[in-house]
Every structure is written in C-alpha cells, then in structure tokens.
Structure 1
C-alpha cells in the first residue's frame, strides 16, 4: 500500500508504509535510501526522489519534533483521499502505570509504536480534541481540511450585487467564500496574504494553523460580469453538514471544559509554530481566531485568519515576542493600543470582548475569582526568558513552549466553571 504525499504543488511521491516508518526515525540515510530500480528511475525524474525524501526527513525532524508531530505533519501532507488512512491507538502501558503506548497506523496497520508519559498523552488528546481520560482507538490524525468544499462553481456564479457581508475594506460572499477588495487597503491585504500563502507552502505546520485570503489570479474562475476594478480573493469554506465554524468570541460561551482545554493547548502551539517559522500575526484577538468543531466527534480545531499586520522572515526579529506579549500579558503592538484596550474600552463593548483569548477562555471557568492576569503574565515572562536562552536551538524552543503549555494547563486545572458548557451548533 502506498500513500501519495504531495511535496510541492506540482510533484507527488508515493510513500509506502515502510518508508513512512523510516521517515519518522532519526536515520536520514535510511529514510532516503532508494533501491536499485528507484535509483535508475531517479536519473530521469525532473525532481529527484532521493533529494525530496531527504528534504522531507529534515522537515519532519526539525528541532527534535515528537513522533506524534511527525505523524500529524505527514497526514497533512498526504493527498486528501489518503488522509483518513493515518490513525493512532493509545492504551495504558502494560508495565508502567504512568505511561501509555501509542501505535501509529497506516490503513489500520501499526508502523511505529511509542511510549509517552501522562502529560505527553494529554497533549496528544488535546490536539485531537479529546478529553485526557478517554480511550483512543483508530482515531484519525487529520485536520478539518478534508471537509473543505470546492466552491469554484459557486464563485463562477457570483455577481457584484451578491456581496453583502464584510467591512469597509472588503466585502464577502459567504456561500462561495469569495472576497472583493473595496479599496487599496483591501487589495494590499490580498497581496500580503498571497505572500504568506506562498511562504507557508513548504511549511506544513504553519499551513495547518493559518487560513489565508488567497488572491484570485486566474480571472477565468470569476463571473464575467464582475467588475474588473476590484481585486478578489477566496477563503476556505467547510461543509456545514460536518463542521461548525465560528469566530472564537461568538462561540466561547458554548465551549465545554474539554474543548476549552484543547483550544488553550492549540493557542500555545500556534504561537510556537508561528515563532519557529518567523511569523508574527500581531493581532490574535478572537475575531481573528476561527474555531471549527467537527460535529460527529466534538473535536475543535483552531485557525488564525486576517494577516493584515503580519511580520515575517526578515521583518520578524523586531516583532518576535509581540504575539506572546499579547496572549499572556495583555500587551498590544504599541503603548497606545495597550492603554486603549485595557483602560479605555467600555465594559461589554466589542473591543473589550474580543481581546485576550487565553484570559477570556480561563475566565469562563474562574468561579473562584482567582487573579489570573499576574499568573498568565508570569507564564509569558518565563516563556520569553526561555526563548532568549534557546536562541536558534529549535529543540529548546519546542521545550520552552511545551513548558508554557504545561504551566497553562496546570493553571486551568485549578479553575471551576461558572456554568456548564454545551457544544455549539
């Protein structure tokens, strides 16, 4: 059995289960080793399979990533019809009560077995959107992207009069996911996100956490009656029969405790992925965080949107802590932003309600009235200190965010709910 793995937009390499197991191991030579026939065929390929496998192995092992993270990345790289073949089983370890056995499976057959401690098992469950104490059998390790709709036919039918939602800079057609830029600012947003989309193309971890406005460059996809004066872009639309999608502040009151724990873990992991890929969002309020719930399982999946203020690559260094300062210490990009949000915003106003997702998620369960702000600020301060110490060492960067995630979960464990959450529709 082979699973097609797209390595570039135009190139596919078929990987057997045995090859996937080797890619998850640390030996790069074995992972990229070709048999005699493949070596001969490689001479005539436009893209070398051996080079592609070496690059894929390096991507999977960047910074000492865990086996779960590697397997998850491979599932994201798989062709859509193959993603459901990636599953895992988690069971109590037969001889170590505080540990668990994780089987990574392709088409139901284990290709690798791992032993994890209780905290590592909890993080896996949180990323799968499952409570820590539930059994995990043949759980698919896939993202919500399998439910993404092909809306090209709807796009080709949209007319200018059909755009109803949106703001000053952009208008939106919900059924097709088509956006229309109303002015220069809107067009510049499309160009900025087009650059981010290209930047994330060979960074699957980053691509998994972002949902960008993809500028339409092939105008043949659009209705001929649409105005040529405007620029257009499209966003991902998910099948509503399977996925409920909401901005975080629109669904926060309906989140269960387990869903909230999962989102807290994903927020820290999103910050880790942005940081490691030298991307600063700089505006991670709850209007810019989409929560997607898979209806038949209740698992929740987080995506960041609206990268109008993004700083990346060479622009990242001077902005690298802004997302951490915002998430943990209620700091904006400027002193004026911070003062306005924290002291001038009227209670119950949209500005007051949409900001600081980690604080708002925790406050939902803060019946004891614990002073959370200083606790969360300390977690953020320790994280920044650890990152300064880590420098370019990717394993230490991962460890710093892992420690921050663990501290946040320990903080959340002390909280009691104000009200019992229910799943949102």
Structure 2
C-alpha cells in the first residue's frame, strides 16, 4: 500500500553497526521499539512542555507530547501512503534531547555551552541515540537506521549548506557534527517525506494542546478565542450543533475541530503537491529541494495569529515568566558547580574521564548530565547542592 515515494525498509541505508534482520519486525519498527524502551524516553514523563512538571497533573509533558505527535504522524503517513513506522519512530524521538524545563532550560544550556561547541536539543537527541544510551553489548546508543537518524537531524529542513557551513548560527552543534562524521546524514539536503510528516505533526500537536493547556491553566478563556481564526469558527460550530453544552465538553468539541482543520489542510496540500510530481522513489522527495508536507499559506497565516496570542497570553504570562526565571537560575548554577567540582557527578558519568580531559570535554559531559535531568530531579539537586537542603525523603526521618 506504500506510494512509490515512501521509504521502504528494504531500501534502508542500514545501521552504523550492522545487525542481522529481525524475523518479525521491520528495521523501522525496531527503531521505534528501541526508542520507546530507552531511558531517555522514560525521562520525558517528568520534563516540561510549557508548564513545569510539578505544576499540575493535567498539563502536557514531553512524554505525552511525543505520544500525541507520534499519533498524528502515523495518521498522516498512513493517509498519504508513507511508511507509518518510520514516521512514528522519528516523532517519538524528536524531543529526546530536551533538557529539563523545556525551551527555558535549552536557552540556558545554549548560553553555557557556547564556548564548548554549543547545545541544541535535536543534536542532543542524536547524541543520546548514538552514544549516551548504553544498554547493548555490541554498541553504544540505540544503533538506529540511517533514515531515522536523518529524520531526527533535519526533520525541520536542511541544517547546512552544500559547503558544510550552517544555515543558522555561527557553527553546527558539536553533537551534530560528531554524529554526521560517523554516519553522513547529508545535512545540506531535505529529509524523507516521513520526517517531514513528523515535523508537521509536532506543529499540529503543540498548536492544539497549548490551547487546551492554556485554557485549563486559566491564563485565558474560551471567550478570548472567539475572535481568533480557526478557533472562533470551531466554537461557533459547536454552539450551533450543541447549544447549552457544558464547558468541558464544549471546549473539547471545539479544539478537536481545530485539530481536524490542521490535519485536513496538511493532507490536502500534500496530495496536491505529490499528485502531479511524478515521484518514483523516496529519494525524489529529498531532491525536490523544498518542504512537501506543510500547511497551506492561508492556514499558516491563521496559525501565526494563534501563536502570537499564545505568546502574549501564555508563554509570556507573568506566572510563567517568573517560573522560567527561577528554573533558568537553577541550570545556570548547577552547570558551573559540576564544572568546578566534577567529583559531584555520579560515578557512571566520571568513568570515562581522565587526567587529559580539558574544559571542553568536561563541559560536554556536564551538559549530557544536566540535560538528561528531569524537572523534579534538577529541582532536588539544586536544593541539595546549591542551597544545602536535605532530600525530601530525609526530612521525615
């Protein structure tokens, strides 16, 4: 049932460390399963999406976000005749490299790591799946296929020019450079259709659930959404079909329509672009030199209005800004502490260090350790190491 331009398992470029084929799973199914069973994936349960993990049980975390992205990616890929397993694997892995406290934590680490090769959550995800997950006897990392690694690296588009210089910023993050040196991911090109599906699924998921979480938090109300594009018509339709519906059902019915508008728009654009393109191989998607899976121009403009609303009313809400300032301080204080006193790192993080290690090598180990922390563990470690507080469990002894 796959379209000619879908990625086929039998055409995979393989793994960095060759393995025998599974008798009952495709290569991309194995990638998906290894990602789900990884330690980094489990830790996403306690990592911020927008609200700090301990602020409420109903808000999205990086784990629930990744699951929602994977569901959207699988739906889109199936409707378009693409490889659903590859799209799902990339979607599940796309946020593995996020540090605690979401983009706030990433911004802090970017500044701290600027002298040592930079930090980027996509590049860190590659470092996790190629090096830091250490469970298998034959290799470090998860030994994912080239196609999955490519999707993690550049699902949002090319990251380098043909001469290897970065498209954005002054330099490519060292984690991306190291992975690419070992397994050329063709950073100057576009990724597969399945990777592009994972990228747009990410946009669909966060556009939907940030509205939902913002309403639940009380930072804005349904009345604030009536005059916005997409959301306003969605609420109007629900009110017409179900007059007098209770608040929570009304909210859900409206936001599921917002969700549907985005999915249907992406499918229509993709089918319009793919239909007459005469594509006969997965590589043809990469050679198009443009993003084929995207929103229409009209919907993209309307979503920009919604994102600006969310920026003003949610991402920059005083309570959110205050919490972000607090957690930024935590990251900025933990990182130099471990740099100055690496003996505070757990023994398994010190095992590869030797007398020849310089500041750059140490900083990268510290970044790996700090970025792997969950929100709650970072808060606990900051309290223990910086403020001298005893762990919670000891307080009641």
Q: Same fold (TM over 0.5)?
A: no
Where is the strand percentage greater, Structure 1 or Structure 2?
Answer: 1
TM-score between both structures, scaled by the size of structure 1: 0.24
**Which one has more relative contact order, counting CA pairs under 8 Å at least 6 apart?**
2
TM-score between both structures, scaled by the size of structure 2: 0.25
Where is the helix percentage greater, Structure 1 or Structure 2?
Answer: 2
